[in-house]
Amino acid sequence: MEAVLGLLVISAGVSHGLETSCDARQNGSQCYGALGGTVYLQLTDNMTYHHYSFYKGSTAAKIEILKTKGTLVIRDTPIKDRLHFFINNGTFRLNNTRRNDSGEYLLEKYDSDGKSSETRELQLFIEAPVSSPQLSSECLSHGEMRVSCSSEGDGPQYSWTLDGQTLNDTDASSDNKTNTITLKKGLSGDLTCTVRNNINRNTVSRRISHCPVLIYVNCTLSNGTKISEWVNATGNTLCVEPTTVTTESPTSKTFTVISLSTVKGDSQDVEYADVRILRQEMRQKEREAPAEVEYGQVNEACGPQQPVEVEYGQITILEGPRRKVDMPEEEYCMYASVRKGQ
């Protein structure tokens, strides 16, 4: 028996979900209805003045659903409350369709003597419509992009276009009819995924940009942090530890050492002052020019006034490691007047 595909018309139902219509006036028609929706089957042109019976099931095991012989009689079956028959144009309607509504149906015509004069069969398939698809994408290691299109429903079929043009083998490396494709390196534009089945179709579009080339890094930093991931090859610094340069400002300390001795004289005591400045720099040493010779007169400020002689001393700047200098425990309060000389 030759199968004939009936004309399928899909519209948005107001109260019963998706509505589908099928011309089943040819023997062997295949019709589809949306799960939970409404299906219209055009069985014949007019049944008002003819004797017809419509059955669920094959010829060997069939259950009468309705019959017409001048008037319409609807049999008591599980679908009785969900069907309606338009006798004037021979259209059968089934609401709130279910999975078990799928199967073979049989329309039989009888002559005036009640004998079967014509038999027509049809196949009804109740399927879930496809939902609005969702796109997801990821960049691969060599700049390719893997894109997936997901949708719920029975028997979805997918097609892809980029900027309105169907993708070919030079653009994508996988079957164009699957829900996942791999775009070649450098492709960009408006990518559209269309998903359809025997009930309906939906599309989704997204603007895509080409992927960068990725490299895999696997390292352990000095602080113990482990890094293992794909990263953009351009400008990657994940496994490069920053170099920290610590600059220490040179420090210096100055120590003044004064040693005094007293020589009795006619009118004053002579005191020899040996003054040295010790300077230490921590990082870099800069040699300084020899200091000028200074002549200083040192007088005691605390205690009895004693005549002192002038002592000519040379101030010397010494560089080198830090020296520990023992300072006298006894503190002297002193003042000095200094004049420069050669």
Average pLDDT over residues 260-265: 43
**pLDDT at position 174:** 56
Are 38 and 121 found together in one domain? yes
Q: Is residue 147 included in any domain, yes or no?
A: yes
Are 26 and 98 found together in one domain? yes
Question: Final residue of a domain: which of 127, 149, 184?
Answer: 127
Beta-carbon-side half-sphere exposure of residue 329 (alpha carbons within 13 Å): 0
**pLDDT at position 140:** 86
Sequence-ordered list of residues with C-beta below 8 angstroms from that of 267, at least 6 positions apart, any chain: 307
Residue 36 banded pLDDT, cuts 50, 70, 90? very high
Q: Longest C-alpha distance within the chain, in Å?
A: 172
Single-letter residue type at 220? T
Q: Is the pLDDT of residue 336 over 50?
A: no
Are 159 and 225 found together in one domain? no
Are 14 and 84 found together in one domain? yes
Are 55 and 103 found together in one domain? yes
Q: Is the pLDDT of residue 188 over 50?
A: yes
Q: Could you tell me the end-to-end alpha-carbon distance of the chain, in angstroms, rounded to an integer?
A: 133
Look at residues 251, 145, 162 and name the one whose alpha carbon lies nearest to residue 206. Answer: 162
The β-bridge relationship of strands 116-127 and 29-34 is parallel
Residue 132 banded pLDDT, cuts 50, 70, 90? very high
Q: 135-159: per-residue pLDDT in tens?
A: 999 988 788 899 999 999 999 999 9
> 157: how many CB neighbours lie within 10 A of its CB?
14
Are 106 and 140 found together in one domain? no
Q: Is the pLDDT of residue 84 over 70?
A: yes
Beta-carbon-side half-sphere exposure of residue 195 (alpha carbons within 13 Å): 22
CA–CA dist 262, 334 (Å, integer): 15
Q: Is the pLDDT of residue 338 over 70?
A: no
Are 9 and 120 found together in one domain? yes
Most confident of 77-86, 170-179, 228-237, 303-312: 77-86
Average pLDDT over residues 242-267: 47
Is the whole model's pTM more than 0.75, yes or no?
Answer: no
Are 16 and 119 found together in one domain? yes
Q: Is residue 249 included in any domain, yes or no?
A: no
Q: Is the pLDDT of residue 112 over 70?
A: yes
Residue 293 banded pLDDT, cuts 50, 70, 90? very low
Average pLDDT over residues 68-78: 91
Q: Is the pLDDT of residue 329 over 60?
A: no
Single-letter residue type at 130? V
Question: Final residue of a domain: which of 105, 127, 149?
Answer: 127
Q: Is residue 108 included in any domain, yes or no?
A: yes
Please give the tally of structural domains in the chain.
Answer: 4
**pLDDT at position 12:** 37
Are 174 and 225 found together in one domain? no
Are 55 and 165 found together in one domain? no
Q: Is residue 317 included in any domain, yes or no?
A: yes
Q: 225 lies in which domain range?
A: 214-244
CATH of the domain at 180: 2.60.40.10
Judged by average pLDDT, the poorest of 76-90, 143-157, 180-194, 316-330 is 316-330
Are 107 and 176 found together in one domain? no
Q: Is residue 56 included in any domain, yes or no?
A: yes
Sequence-ordered list of residues with C-beta below 8 angstroms from that of 255, at least 6 positions apart, any chain: 276, 277, 278, 323, 325
**pLDDT at position 277:** 44
Using only C-alpha atoms, the chain has a radius of gyration, in whole angstroms, of: 53
Average pLDDT over residues 55-74: 90
Show the tokens assigned to 52.
Answer: 């017809």
**pLDDT at position 175:** 54
Per the prediction, the chain carries an average pLDDT of 74
Most confident of 22-26, 229-233, 335-339: 22-26
Average pLDDT over residues 38-60: 89
**pLDDT at position 307:** 53
**pLDDT at position 320:** 53
Question: Final residue of a domain: which of 94, 127, 160?
Answer: 127
Are 54 and 117 found together in one domain? yes
